[in-house]
């Protein structure tokens, strides 16, 4: 982008690029960010992508950029857009390659004093138990019929196979299974890539973290979530692995033709899309939902493996250790949701790419256990600093389709990150912060150095200042397993 478009301040950490800033925009662009970060993204590809999204047919209200926005494929990572079901489109670029990359948080009755002296033992046990790294396969190798069942049932499939507890299911967004999954819309190549990867962590920014609650900001909500100061918690961040990547690629290939077929004009071919109700749009939604359910099943098995590892270290059952799931949220997904637009309730297809659902207290989509408190919003940071648990607000429902930030957001590309320091320097730095790390590869570790990410404190402060969520607790890492 040669020049930055006009950006108007409309509130604290709230900015708007008006609809008339660029020819072809159908809606304005809302930016939720701090002043310093806004200056950083002016003239960048990420901001250009947010503006491009505003050109999508059927988009309503605004193209939305979260405080952790950075460049992605088509949509920026940290982008949200909702399209009318009848007149709008669905775009694979609005979900991304790692369909339903998401995070779950498990609490425990363990305390910092009990775990800190044994953190290496615990982290090593998890590393040995959980397959991690590029293309890594696990112990589960599924037949086509078994995979079909998993693609429809999601996390419940894993539960029925003995991985987890019944209460886990209600503590997952969508109950751990997105309706509308269509295994027949999935290619043979996607099946092959996903055959042995259920219960594997993967690579890139995927991780399992042993942390502790450093600060509690909202005692009542923290209690509702089962969280307390100096408590040990476990973060699990992974997605649909090679299966979801292939589903995305297959449908991008299709969408390159549908954009022209339906006469859709776009400023960027990475936004290639199809009318939601078209055969191509429905085929992508069915395959995307199947990949989302694959991811929920994957994280369900991963949590089971973490519970097993910790149980072995302490010689006590996971139940006795109080290792209950707090919540599981997706942050790369397209979902059919009902929202109020210009005073009318409408069903929309909401794309969230690098953004987390953040529904408020009282929302009917929330499980009974969180109906009074509001939805846990899980915001992992980087392996050297902090992560947060937030809670959704009514302002988010009004202004961002019930969405908030999903993490710290990258500040450096993977190539740039590798030039910042050596693996030895990084490990020494993390050790000085009291963090013990196990990684499948040195290369993958350096790419995920804390310096490669924005400071999650700043991202969360902007999210809270904009009214999209409230702080509940802050956690710090002790041990990290990286892909």
DSSP output for 271-288: G--EETTSHHHHHHHHHH
Give the mean model confidence (pLDDT) for residues 392-414.
91
User: Is there a catalytic annotation at residue 206?
Assistant: no
Q: Report whether 275 contacts 59 (CB < 8 A).
A: no
**Which residue in 70, 304, 351, 406 is the catalytic one?**
406
What confidence score (pLDDT) does residue 136 get? 66
Structure confidence by residue, pLDDT tens digits, 291-303? 999 999 999 999 9
- CA–CA separation, 178 and 357 (whole Å): 14
Domains of the chain: 102-256+268-482 (3.90.1860.10)
* Ramachandran area for residue 164 (φ above 0: left; ψ -120 to 50: alpha; else beta): left
State the average pLDDT for the chain.
94
Q: Is 153 helix (H, G, I), strand (E, B) or coil?
A: helix
Give the mean model confidence (pLDDT) for residues 357-375.
97
Q: How many residues does the chain have?
A: 483
What confidence score (pLDDT) does residue 186 get? 98
In terms of DSSP bridges, do strands 403-405 and 387-392 run parallel, antiparallel, or are they unpaired? unpaired
Quick one: DSSP state of residue 407?
S
Give the mean model confidence (pLDDT) for residues 30-59.
93
What confidence score (pLDDT) does residue 125 get? 97
| More confident: 470 or 449 | 470
In terms of DSSP bridges, do strands 77-84 and 231-238 run parallel, antiparallel, or are they unpaired? unpaired
What confidence score (pLDDT) does residue 411 get? 75
Give the mean model confidence (pLDDT) for residues 247-264.
96
Tell me how far apart the terminal alpha carbons of the chain are, to the nearest angstrom: 34
pLDDT over 60 at 1, yes or no: no
Give the mean model confidence (pLDDT) for residues 180-208.
93
**Closest Cα partner for 265 from 83, 454, 455, 55?**
55
Helix, strand, coil shares, percent, the chain, to 5: 40, 25, 35
What confidence score (pLDDT) does residue 11 get? 94
In terms of DSSP bridges, do strands 63-70 and 29-32 run parallel, antiparallel, or are they unpaired? parallel
231 φ/ψ angles, rounded to the nearest 5 degrees: -80, 145
- CA–CA separation, 192 and 189 (whole Å): 5
């Amino acid at each position: 982008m040669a020049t930055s478009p006009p950006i108007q301040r409309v509130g604290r950490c709230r900015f708007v690029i008006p609809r008339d800033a660029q020819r072809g925009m159908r809606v304005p662009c809302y930016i939720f960010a701090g002043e310093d970060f806004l200056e950083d993204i002016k003239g960048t590809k990420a901001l250009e992508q947010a503006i491009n999204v505003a050109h999508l047919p059927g988009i309503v209200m605004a193209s939305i950029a979260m405080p952790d926005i950075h460049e992605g494929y088509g949509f920026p990572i940290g982008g949200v857009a909702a399209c009318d079901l009848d007149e709008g489109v669905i775009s694979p670029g609005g979900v991304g390659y790692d369909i339903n990359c998401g995070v779950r948080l498990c609490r425990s009755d363990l305390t910092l004093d009990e775990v800190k002296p044994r953190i290496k033992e615990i982290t090593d046990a998890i590393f040995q138990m959980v397959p991690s790294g590029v293309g890594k396969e696990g112990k589960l190798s599924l037949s086509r019929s078994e995979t079909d069942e998993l693609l429809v049932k999601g996390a419940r499939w894993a539960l029925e196979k003995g991985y987890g507890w019944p209460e886990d299911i209600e503590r997952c967004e969508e109950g751990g299974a997105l309706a509308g999954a269509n295994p027949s819309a999935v290619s043979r190549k996607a099946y092959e890539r996903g055959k042995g990867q259920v219960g594997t962590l993967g690579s890139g920014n995927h991780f399992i973290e042993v942390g502790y609650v450093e600060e509690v900001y909202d005692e009542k909500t923290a209690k509702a979530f089962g969280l307390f100061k100096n408590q040990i918690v476990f973060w699990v961040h992974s997605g649909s692995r090679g299966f979801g990547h292939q589903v995305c690629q297959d449908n991008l290939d299709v969408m390159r033709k549908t954009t022209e077929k339906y006469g859709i004009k776009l400023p960027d071919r990475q936004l290639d899309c199809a009318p939601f109700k078209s055969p191509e749009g429905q085929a992508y939604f069915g395959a995307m939902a199947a990949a989302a359910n694959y991811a929920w099943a994957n994280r369900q098995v991963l949590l089971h493996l973490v519970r097993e590892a910790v149980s072995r270290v302490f010689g006590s059952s996971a139940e006795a250790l109080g290792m209950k799931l707090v919540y599981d949220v997706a942050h790369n997904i397209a979902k059919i949701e009902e929202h109020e637009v210009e005073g009318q309730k409408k069903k929309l297809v909401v794309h969230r790419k690098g953004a987390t659902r953040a529904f408020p207290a009282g929302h009917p989509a929330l499980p009974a256990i969180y109906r009074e408190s509001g939805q846990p919003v899980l915001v992992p940071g980087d392996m050297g600093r902090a992560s947060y648990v937030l809670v959704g607000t009514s302002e988010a429902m009004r202004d961002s389709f019930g969405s908030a930030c999903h993490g710290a957001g990258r500040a450096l590309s993977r190539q740039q990150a590798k030039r910042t320091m050596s693996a030895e320097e990084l490990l020494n730095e993390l050790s000085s912060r009291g963090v013990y790390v196990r990684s499948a590869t040195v290369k993958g570790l350096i790419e995920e150095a804390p310096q490669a990410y924005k400071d999650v404190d700043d991202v969360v402060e902007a999210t809270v200042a904009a009214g999209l969520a409230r702080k509940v607790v802050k956690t710090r890492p002790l041990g990290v397993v990286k892909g």
